[in-house]
Structure 1
Amino acid sequence: MSKSRKHGVFAVSGDVVVLPTKQYEDVRDAITVAAALETVFKQMQIVGHRQRTIESYEYIFNQFMTVNRLQYVEDISVESIYHYLDVLEVSPRTKLIRLKSIKAVLSKFYNNSWIKDRIWAIIHIKVDKEVKEGAKESDIDKLLHLIDQTTFIGFRDAAAIKLMYKTGIRISTLGELRERHIDFDNLFLKLDGLALKNHKFLKLPIDEEVAAILKVLIKLNDGVRNHFGTGNHNVFITQNGLAMNTNKSSNCASSKQLNKYAKRYGLKNINAHAIRRAYAESLLEKGASVALISKALGHSDLAVTTQYLDLDIEEVANNLRGIF
């Protein structure tokens, strides 16, 4: 029978094993994934990440945590990432998107010294290159002709399609577009960092037709906002006078409108990305350089633009050689 170190209420049995100091410190310092995410998302907000981006990371990483029943950051392993990817019943391309989000968050864990090694760097998903074509100008013209522009929704959607095709702006930028971004005197869109994905300033020309359409739309917006008592300066608003960028489904709602029109009128390649690609392809056909098109699209890398235009690597190299 073991002897006690002390007698009475505070006696400690000799059978009790006292944790070594180092092990105790590890337990004390362990950080939960939930606490780490809260800190990371605050950091992202401070440096200017969009709320939509943060919400996307949050959704995917919480799904990753749930699948693996993770509680502490130190529990994250290569095996847990592979397990998450394995149970996902989605396409390889979607898995790649999810993996990129997981890696982005883990990189921030690493930067905060909560993870010692970049364990995720060895994980890669290969997907076949998906060649996406731009919308045909004839289909865009047909769509604009068929949309009922005597209604507010119809006119708004037609204005959005026309603006995207003439400037190549993303559908997300439509939701962020404000009246102050339009220079009607000099016929330019002056887009600041808050309106663009890459947070850089971009200046794009518009023609008089687009300017006239936007002026009519803004006037219609004033009437809608006055009727519902809403206050904003967004160029594209809902039929209830609300900004279309107030929730994470706003882009989806705009995309659904395009999908609805495509099905209704039998148009196969009408969507926001196809219209943006059509703009890029039209610039290329008119002789614009890849570098110029890249700037107009707001791409941070020429490689993205060449892939966007589906340019052959040899074609790019030969064209570059011709310059020298």
Structure 2
Amino acid sequence: MKKTIQEFIYYLNVERGLSDNTLNSYQRDLYSFFTFLHDSEIFEWTQVKRTHIMKFLMYLYDKGRAPSTITRNLASIRSFFQFLLQERVIREDPSTDLESPKQEKKLPEVLSPDEVDNLLDQPDQTTFQGKRDKAMLELLYATGMRVSELISLNVEHVDTRNGYILCKGKGEKERIVPLGKIAIESLIDYLSKSRARFRKNLSEQALFLNHHGRRLSRQGFWKIIKKYAEKIGIKNKITPHTLRHSFATHLLENGADLRAVQEMLGHSDISTTQIYTQLTKKRLKDVYSKAHPRA
């Protein structure tokens, strides 16, 4: 049985050109399955039934393995049995129609309004870099944009007079997102007093520039926000989407319409936006637990 696993790994390596990490993952999963079968006195792949696979998945569950790990093991087993079927080692695939365990959606990390205020107040606005950083952070929180959308903005996409930006999202889909007063003021301050200091080429249209006068990269922005988060002790709570998640959650907490938030975020499916309603419910429950004398 072990020899057949090795032949499968060789096939994945030569025929499909998978990476070493992926090959190791397949091998680890299948050896674990092989050991379980051997302990159950199954010594041939032709003896494996659907119930054996189900028992193995339950065994992983009882050991406290995460749903994602169990799903990956099942995927490895399915691929392996497809290989055995193809090689005519078996006549029927016992893994057919087995369902993967449902994975719980991890709720995104969000900042409190006070933490957002503290983060957005960190850039030193007496410097050109501080003015740029302030405008970027204010714009992210004001619009809920993705970082990739922020750095792809051109000057022409911003209308500070009427208070909106034209955002290009996934699949080049365009949407118009309103801007708040503070974000507008920060953008005007950056455009009028700072951007020209970064620009090296007069034809450069990127809104946010780095010290070389080129469009700021995602990695460049990530370093900037981590620096400010570290200063106020929230480094572990920051991800590239933290301000986007906080934007959506705070809007819903204050009574915003779910459809409007969906449109501003650029979600094609409202079920993606609904995860933020779970966050608001969780926060209400936490507040109740801490504040109510009989909670």
TM-score (norm 1): 0.55
Distance 1:67 1:276, change over 3 A: farther
Superposed, which structure 2 residues align to 1:154-193 within 5 Å?
A: 154-191=130-167
Is residue 223 from structure 1 mapped to residue 197 from structure 2 by the alignment? yes
Render the CA deviation track for 1:34-54: whole Å, top value 9, x for unaligned: xxxxxxxxxxxxxxxxxxxxx
Could you tell me whether the CA contact under 8 Å between 2:249 and 2:280 is conserved in 1? Answer: no
SS in 2 for 1:69: helix
Give the distance between the partners of 1:67 and 1:241, measured in 2 at CA. Answer: 49
Is residue 297 from structure 1 mapped to residue 273 from structure 2 by the alignment? no
Give the distance between the partners of 2:179 and 2:250, measured in 1 at CA. Answer: 15
Distance 1:83 1:283, change over 3 A: same
**Residue in structure 1 matched with residue 169 of structure 2 by the alignment:** 196
**Cα offset for 1:123?**
9.1
Give the distance between the partners of 2:117 and 2:70, measured in 1 at CA. Answer: 36
Is residue 130 from structure 1 mapped to residue 74 from structure 2 by the alignment? no
Give the distance between the partners of 2:135 and 2:69, measured in 1 at CA. Answer: 31
Distance 1:131 1:167, change over 3 A: same
Render the CA deviation track for 1:59-106: whole Å, top value 9, x for unaligned: xxxxxxx9943456xx99xxx997475369xx9869999xxxxxxxxx
Render the CA deviation track for 1:216-270: whole Å, top value 9, x for unaligned: 2223222321xx34641111111221112xxxxx223312222222222212534
Give the distance between the partners of 2:104 and 2:157, measured in 1 at CA. Answer: 39
SS in 1 for 2:166: strand
Give the distance between the partners of 2:128 and 2:70, measured in 1 at CA. Answer: 39
Q: Match of 1:69, as an amino acid?
A: N
Q: Match of 1:286, as an amino acid?
A: N
SS in 1 for 2:184: helix
Q: Match of 1:223, as an amino acid?
A: R
SS in 2 for 1:295: helix
Render the CA deviation track for 1:128-178: whole Å, top value 9, x for unaligned: 431223211111211232332223332222211111111111111111111
Render the CA deviation track for 1:253-304: whole Å, top value 9, x for unaligned: 3122222222222125344322111111122123222222111110011111
**Residue in structure 2 matched with residue 69 of structure 1 by the alignment:** 13
SS in 1 for 2:278: coil
Superposed, which structure 2 residues align to 1:1-324 within 5 Å?
A: 68-70=12-14, 83=23, 85-86=25-26, 127-191=103-167, 195-219=168-192, 220-225=194-199, 228-229=200-201, 231-244=203-216, 250-267=217-234, 268-310=236-278
> Unaligned 5+ residue runs, structure 2?
1-9, 29-65, 73-96, 282-295
Give the distance between the partners of 1:186 and 1:240, measured in 2 at CA. Answer: 31
**Residue in structure 2 matched with residue 48 of structure 1 by the alignment:** none
Could you tell me whether the CA contact under 8 Å between 2:128 and 2:197 is conserved in 1? Answer: no
Count of residue pairs brought into register by the alignment: 212
Q: Match of 1:243, as an amino acid?
A: R
TM-score (norm 2): 0.59
SS in 2 for 1:310: helix
Could you tell me whether the CA contact under 8 Å between 2:131 and 2:189 is conserved in 1? Answer: no
Could you tell me whether the CA contact under 8 Å between 2:198 and 2:209 is conserved in 1? Answer: no
Distance 1:203 1:86, change over 3 A: same
Could you tell me whether the CA contact under 8 Å between 1:178 and 1:233 is conserved in 2? Answer: yes
Could you tell me whether the CA contact under 8 Å between 1:217 and 1:235 is conserved in 2? Answer: no
Render the CA deviation track for 1:161-201: whole Å, top value 9, x for unaligned: 1111111111111111111111223111122xxx3124222
Distance 1:123 1:223, change over 3 A: farther
SS in 2 for 1:131: coil
Give the distance between the partners of 2:112 and 2:145, measured in 1 at CA. Answer: 17
Could you tell me whether the CA contact under 8 Å between 2:107 and 2:279 is conserved in 1? Answer: no
Give the distance between the partners of 1:149 and 1:243, measured in 2 at CA. Answer: 21
SS in 2 for 1:275: helix
Could you tell me whether the CA contact under 8 Å between 1:68 and 1:84 is conserved in 2? Answer: no
